[in-house]
């Protein structure tokens, strides 16, 4: 269900909105139109919830809290402060966004489960507070609060076509806002956060901030939904905003399909028409039908309605254009690519693999680079609850060299890289280019020029190869999301720079152009490792840390990675690489450090180290020698 | 002072009920990987079944006995019919439990709820005794006793039986346990069977105190979540300690500040705990490999 997020839903969204705009021509009954109005009101908030869930990987089972805030603030400032309705709605939306940001920042540290429970809780608490006596001079307590009529000229916005199209405009706004969010940097960054927070942090993404932004956006549109609900019902009472409604909203998103923006709208319309069509007799009977259908859909089609429609349309297109390739590059058919991803080297042969450079440079002829070291580690120590992962490691990496770290499993190689990139707190000192960076956080170290890759390349599966690299290409992920969404020249320039840097990185690594716009989930392991390196490289680092770039690759792919690393070194980047493959190390490394049980065993030129008796012992094992 | 102490005592008894529900949540979370939002309503629905049997003229104890058997079957059905088929990952399963939560409430409303809330006959004797000016209700004391017996039973199961050992293995390292031949689905089924029975027990102990209706479990479910988070969500003992903390604190808050702040105070305790100790009082940080 949380598998795929889409950023190519603009046209389907437009189509659905158009259909909804035309619906009153066909759906003429007052009560039927009323059902569509309620569906659209839920959809206004559901779209925001999809941004939260499908794109930033967070949960909320309490989204009606923000509906309540929007509705109550709008109604209260009109009753108590006599505001006109336009500023009142704006106040409602802003209040909801603000509270969502505050509450979101409290809940961000809770993970998957915690945020589900926390928001669920919040929903219940909010109802208590609204109906309680403490806020009753504002909210009217359990008596409720009347919504003053909203009019344009003689027309009341609370009934008939005027109500319908007011709500429609709110929905269109909400959809447009959320679609825009998925297209800009913030939306892409949020998807990296959803995939893996640590990786996101290493790429310079402000994890906390991006999550709170998604919360605020979801809260804002929920607030707008609340204002629309206020227009529709005319009288606010605490029961309208209970936890059941919050859960229904989540169910609507789940049923419509997360990560699609259009899906939740579809889900809302589907539900309200179905439930009201069949069971208008009693409230609890329609509840029963609602929950049964939710259950059936999440059990049987666990990717949601949008996915179902998408598959259907794709099949239709395929039928119509038999033999002609579907002219929609962004929506590459997964079914075809899936076997390619799993069939290993054969698949690589199908796509032009990165050019393998066959020339082997004479290692011995090159002097070890002189001058002050770029990276200096002094006495680095890490304990994992009694297990000494690293016990006083000293290491010096010269500017411009390729330095390999080898050692058996559990020697502490990855932990050492984590210490350098700032993910893992450690004792000792990390000195970069003469400056002590030990106390600096991940993002600052990245800005100082440290980039890294991971043993398992955590690419965002539903972003293309090129987009994955672009996320890594931003010099900084700071700045206002509102400016980004407005598309001001400043942020456009920033996007262009990132695109150019990503392009440069991909070209430097000779990554085949035909594979640039393929979703990362459909790339082979070798290609994913390449993209991971490109992503780290796109930030134009001084020091590139590579964690086992050859693990799990075949000989040919290893050759390609070695070629890529040589390209990186020619570009003047210093490389610290963890590797197991001796041939690979011999080919690329100037110097080599051997780790064993968290200590440096030996260090020297690759040729010397690899023939050292002690090292052979560690790798082959004592039994292998005797 | 006497009032405060009496409140604390009844808070402890309520806290143990919260702890028991929290224990079910953690137990299911550890064995099946998903915290089940529907657990409270499962108990509510089963209690309704017992109530219907009793209303039709059956004795309370036989009705409870039949209810227990139904609960075991019900638990198995929940797992096999709702949660297991076409497994769709953590988020999907979470939504399934939420849908089940809604479904059970709606079913209770439609089938049983015409004239709710109902008075539920007490299983436990009324009255109590005074010790040093502090009122001790028999029902509270018996609740404490029941919970202690159940906890002992579970500890014994975990320590002395093969199934118990397998539960611990799955809780610690689900993948490894599976590779070692633990039949995870069988274990999950058993877990749901036990959970169904415990949920009924909670319902039976709770219903006489606070009327029987379809939403009766919502507050205690929230308290149980808070208790589980406070206790660390990995520690079984922690859930009961968390339950007592939440039970006593919310009882005091509702007595002295008003009942509209009880939920808020539980939420506050939960958030405060997370701010100070992100892994709860008894939890341990989990190291993730990159």
Last residue of a domain, one of A279, A309, A339: A309
For chain B, what percentages of helix, strand and coil (3-state, to nearest 5) are there? 75, 5, 20
Please indicate, yes or no, if residue B125 is contained in any of the structural domains.
Answer: yes
For residues A291 and A433, membership in a common domain is answered with: no
Please indicate, yes or no, if residue A366 is contained in any of the structural domains.
Answer: no
Domain of B268, CATH number, reads 1.10.3470
What pLDDT sits at residue A365?
42
For residues A556 and A427, membership in a common domain is answered with: yes
Question: Distance of CA A513 to CAs A328, A335, A465, Å?
Answer: 17, 22, 10
For residues A570 and A450, membership in a common domain is answered with: yes
Residue (of A383, A379, A395, A365) closest to A576 by Cα position: A395
For residues A41 and A117, membership in a common domain is answered with: yes
Shortest CA distance from A301: residue in chain B: B86
CB of A545 closer than 8 Å to CB of A421: yes
Contact B106 A287 (CB under 8 A): yes
Contact B86 A299 (CB under 8 A): yes
Task: State how far residue A122 is from chain B, nearest Cα, in angstroms.
Answer: 8
Mutate to test the interface with A, among B32, B98, B111 (most CBs of A within 10 A): B98
Please indicate, yes or no, if residue A346 is contained in any of the structural domains.
Answer: no
Nearest by CB to A302, which of B92, B219, B266? Answer: B92
- Give per-residue pLDDT as tens, B180-200: 877 878 888 888 999 999 999
Shortest CA distance from A288: residue in chain B: B106
Please indicate, yes or no, if residue A510 is contained in any of the structural domains.
Answer: yes
Low-confidence stretches of chain B (pLDDT beneath 50):
none
Q: Quote the crossing angle between the two packed helices B89-111 and A243-256, to the nearest 10°.
A: 130
Structural domain count of chain B? 1
Nearest by CB to A300, which of B86, B100, B109? Answer: B86
Residues 6 or more apart whose Cβ sits within 8 Å of residue A504:
A538
Please indicate, yes or no, if residue A238 is contained in any of the structural domains.
Answer: yes
Please name the residues between 34 and 93 in chain B that touch chain A, using a CB distance below 8 Å. 35, 37, 82, 85-86, 88-92
Task: State how far residue A205 is from chain B, nearest Cα, in angstroms.
Answer: 17
Please indicate, yes or no, if residue A10 is contained in any of the structural domains.
Answer: no
Exposure string over A200-231, b if 16+ CB within 10 A, otherwise e: bbbbbbbbebbbbbbbbbbbbbbbbbbbbbbb
Nearest by CB to B95, which of A199, A251, A455? Answer: A251
What pLDDT sits at residue B283?
67
B222/A contact by beta carbon, under 8 A: yes
Task: State how far residue B108 is from chain A, nearest Cα, in angstroms.
Answer: 9
Please indicate, yes or no, if residue A328 is contained in any of the structural domains.
Answer: no
Residue (of B194, B197, B185) closest to B80 by Cα position: B185
Please indicate, yes or no, if residue B284 is contained in any of the structural domains.
Answer: no
For residues A457 and A549, membership in a common domain is answered with: yes
Domain of A581, CATH number, reads 3.40.50.300
At B264, which helix (H) or strand (E)? helix B262-276
Contact A302 B266 (CB under 8 A): no
Mutate to test the interface with A, among B30, B38, B48, B95 (most CBs of A within 10 A): B95
B3/A contact by beta carbon, under 8 A: no
Last residue of a domain, one of A309, A326, A349: A309
B103/A contact by beta carbon, under 8 A: yes
Task: State how far residue A108 is from chain B, nearest Cα, in angstroms.
Answer: 11
Contact A251 B96 (CB under 8 A): no
Complex ipTM > 0.95:
no
What pLDDT sits at residue A357?
43
For residues A251 and A145, membership in a common domain is answered with: yes
Please indicate, yes or no, if residue B289 is contained in any of the structural domains.
Answer: no
Which residues span the domain enclosing A242?
A: 30-180+223-309
For residue B266, list chain A residues with Cβ-Cβ distance below 8 A: 121
Low-confidence stretches of chain A (pLDDT beneath 50):
1-2, 324-365, 623-626
Nearest by CB to A125, which of B89, B110, B264? Answer: B264
For residue B90, list chain A residues with Cβ-Cβ distance below 8 A: 112
Nearest by CB to B110, which of A250, A284, A303? Answer: A284
Shortest CA distance from B266: residue in chain A: A121
Shortest CA distance from A452: residue in chain B: B290
Please name the residues between 141 and 200 in chain B that touch chain A, using a CB distance below 8 Å. none
For residue B109, list chain A residues with Cβ-Cβ distance below 8 A: 284, 287-288
H helix intervals, A108-184: 112-131, 136-139, 160-183
Which residues span the domain enclosing B42?
A: 2-276
Task: State how far residue B89 is from chain A, nearest Cα, in angstroms.
Answer: 7
Contact A114 B274 (CB under 8 A): yes
Contact B278 A109 (CB under 8 A): yes
Residue (of B28, B139, B54, B218) closest to A243 by Cα position: B218
Residue A261 to residue A175: CA distance in whole angstroms: 7
Please indicate, yes or no, if residue B92 is contained in any of the structural domains.
Answer: yes
- Vertex B34 angle, CA A251 and A193, to 5°: 75
Do you know the residue count of chain B? 290
Residue (of A212, A181, A626, A578) closest to A419 by Cα position: A578
For residues A304 and A411, membership in a common domain is answered with: no
Last residue of a domain, one of A294, A309, A324: A309
For residues A532 and A455, membership in a common domain is answered with: yes
Please indicate, yes or no, if residue A398 is contained in any of the structural domains.
Answer: yes
Task: State how far residue A310 is from chain B, nearest Cα, in angstroms.
Answer: 19
Question: Distance of CA A535 to CAs A194, A291, A466, A504, Å?
Answer: 17, 44, 9, 11
For residues A254 and A390, membership in a common domain is answered with: no
Mutate to test the interface with A, among B35, B81, B91, B100 (most CBs of A within 10 A): B91
Please indicate, yes or no, if residue A612 is contained in any of the structural domains.
Answer: yes
Mutate to test the interface with A, among B26, B102, B213, B215 (most CBs of A within 10 A): B102
Structural domain count of chain A? 2
Pairs of CB atoms within 8 A across A/B: 139
């Amino acid at each position: 269900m949380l598998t795929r997020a889409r950023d190519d839903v603009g046209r389907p969204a437009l189509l659905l909105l158009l259909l909804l705009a035309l619906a009153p021509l066909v759906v003429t009954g007052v009560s039927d139109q009323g059902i569509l109005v309620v569906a659209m009101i839920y959809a206004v908030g559901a779209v925001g919830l999809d941004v939260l869930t499908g794109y930033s990987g967070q949960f909320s089972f309490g989204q009606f809290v923000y509906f309540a805030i929007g509705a109550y603030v709008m109604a209260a400032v009109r009753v108590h402060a006599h505001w006109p309705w336009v500023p009142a709605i704006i106040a409602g939306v802003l209040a909801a966004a603000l509270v969502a940001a505050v509450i979101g920042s409290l809940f961000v540290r809770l993970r998957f489960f915690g945020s589900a429970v926390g928001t669920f809780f919040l929903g219940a608490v909010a109802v208590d507070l609204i109906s309680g006596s403490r806020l009753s001079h504002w909210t009217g307590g359990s008596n409720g609060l009347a919504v003053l009529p909203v009019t344009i000229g003689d027309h009341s916005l609370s009934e008939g076509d005027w109500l319908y199209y007011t709500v429609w405009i709110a929905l269109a706004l909400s959809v447009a806002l959320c679609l825009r969010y998925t297209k800009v940097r913030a939306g892409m960054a949020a998807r990296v956060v959803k995939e893996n927070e640590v990786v996101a942090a290493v790429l310079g993404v402000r994890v906390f901030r991006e999550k709170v932004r998604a919360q605020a956006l979801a809260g804002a549109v929920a607030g707008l939904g609340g204002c629309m609900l206020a227009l529709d019902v005319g009288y606010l009472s605490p029961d309208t905003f209970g936890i059941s409604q919050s859960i229904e909203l989540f169910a609507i998103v789940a049923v419509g399909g997360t990560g699609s923006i259009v899906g939740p709208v579809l889900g809302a319309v589907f539900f309200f028409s179905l439930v009201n069509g069949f069971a208008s007799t009693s409230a609890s009977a329609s509840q029963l039908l609602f929950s049964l259908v939710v259950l059936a859909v999440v059990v049987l089609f666990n990717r949601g309605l949008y996915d179902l429609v998408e598959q259907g349309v794709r099949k239709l297109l395929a039928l119509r254009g038999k033999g002609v390739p579907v002219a929609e590059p962004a929506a590459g058919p997964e079914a075809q690519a899936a076997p390619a991803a799993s069939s290993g080297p054969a698949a690589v042969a199908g796509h032009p693999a990165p050019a393998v450079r066959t020339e082997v440079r004479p290692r011995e002829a090159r002097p070890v680079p002189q001058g002050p070291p770029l990276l200096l580690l002094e006495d680095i120590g890490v304990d994992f609850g009694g297990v000494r992962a690293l016990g006083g490691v000293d290491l010096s990496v010269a500017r411009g060299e390729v330095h390999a770290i080898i050692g058996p499993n559990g020697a502490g190689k990855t932990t050492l890289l984590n210490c350098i990139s700032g993910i893992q707190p450690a004792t000792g000192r990390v000195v970069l280019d003469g400056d002590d960076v030990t106390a600096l956080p991940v993002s600052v170290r990245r800005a100082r020029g440290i980039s890294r890759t991971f043993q398992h390349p955590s690419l965002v599966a539903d972003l293309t190869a090129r987009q994955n690299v672009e996320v890594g290409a931003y010099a900084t992920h700071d700045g206002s999301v509102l400016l980004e969404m407005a598309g001001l020249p400043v942020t456009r320039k920033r996007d262009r720079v990132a695109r150019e840097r990503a392009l440069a990185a991909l070209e430097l690594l000779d990554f085949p152009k035909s594979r640039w716009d393929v979703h990362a989930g459909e790339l082979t392991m070798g290609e994913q490792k390449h993209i991971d390196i490109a992503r780290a490289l796109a930030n134009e680092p001084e020091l590139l840390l590579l964690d086992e770039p050859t693990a799990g690759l075949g000989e040919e792919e290893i050759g390609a990675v070695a070629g890529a690393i040589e390209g990186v070194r020619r570009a003047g980047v210093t490389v610290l690489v963890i590797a197991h493959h001796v041939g690979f190390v011999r080919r690329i490394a100037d110097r080599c450090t051997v780790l064993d049980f968290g200590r440096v065993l030996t260090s020297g030129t690759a040729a010397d180290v690899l023939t050292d008796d002690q090292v052979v012992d560690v790798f082959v094992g004592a039994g292998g020698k005797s | 002072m006497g009032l405060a102490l009496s409140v604390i005592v009844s808070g402890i008894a309520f806290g143990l009920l919260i702890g028991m529900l929290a224990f079910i949540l953690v137990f299911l979370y550890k064995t099946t990987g998903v915290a089940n939002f529907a657990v409270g309503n499962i108990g509510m629905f089963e209690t309704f079944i017992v109530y219907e049997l009793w209303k039709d003229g059956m004795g309370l104890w036989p009705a409870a006995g039949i209810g227990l058997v139904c609960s075991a079957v019900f638990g198995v059905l929940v797992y096999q019919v709702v949660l297991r088929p076409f497994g769709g990952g953590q988020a999907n399963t979470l939504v399934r439990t939420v849908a089940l939560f809604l479904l059970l409430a709606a079913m209770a409303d439609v089938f049983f709820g015409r004239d709710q809330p109902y008075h539920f006959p007490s299983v436990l004797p009324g009255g109590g005794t005074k010790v040093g000016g502090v009122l001790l209700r028999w029902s509270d004391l018996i609740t404490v006793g029941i919970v202690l017996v159940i906890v002992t039973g579970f500890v014994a199961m975990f320590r002395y039986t093969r199934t118990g050992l397998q539960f611990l293995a799955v809780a610690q390292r689900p993948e490894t346990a599976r590779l070692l031949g633990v039949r995870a689905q069988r274990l999950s089924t058993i877990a749901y069977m036990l959970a169904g029975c415990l949920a009924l027990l909670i319902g039976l102990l709770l219903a006489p105190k606070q009327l029987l209706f379809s939403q009766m479990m919502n507050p205690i479910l929230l308290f149980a979540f808070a208790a589980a988070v406070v206790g660390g969500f990995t520690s079984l003992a922690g859930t009961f300690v968390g339950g007592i903390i939440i039970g006593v604190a919310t009882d005091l808050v509702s007595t002295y500040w008003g009942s509209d702040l009880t939920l808020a105070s539980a939420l506050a305790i939960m958030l405060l705990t997370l701010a100070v100790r992100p892994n709860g009082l008894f939890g341990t940080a989990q190291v993730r490999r990159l």
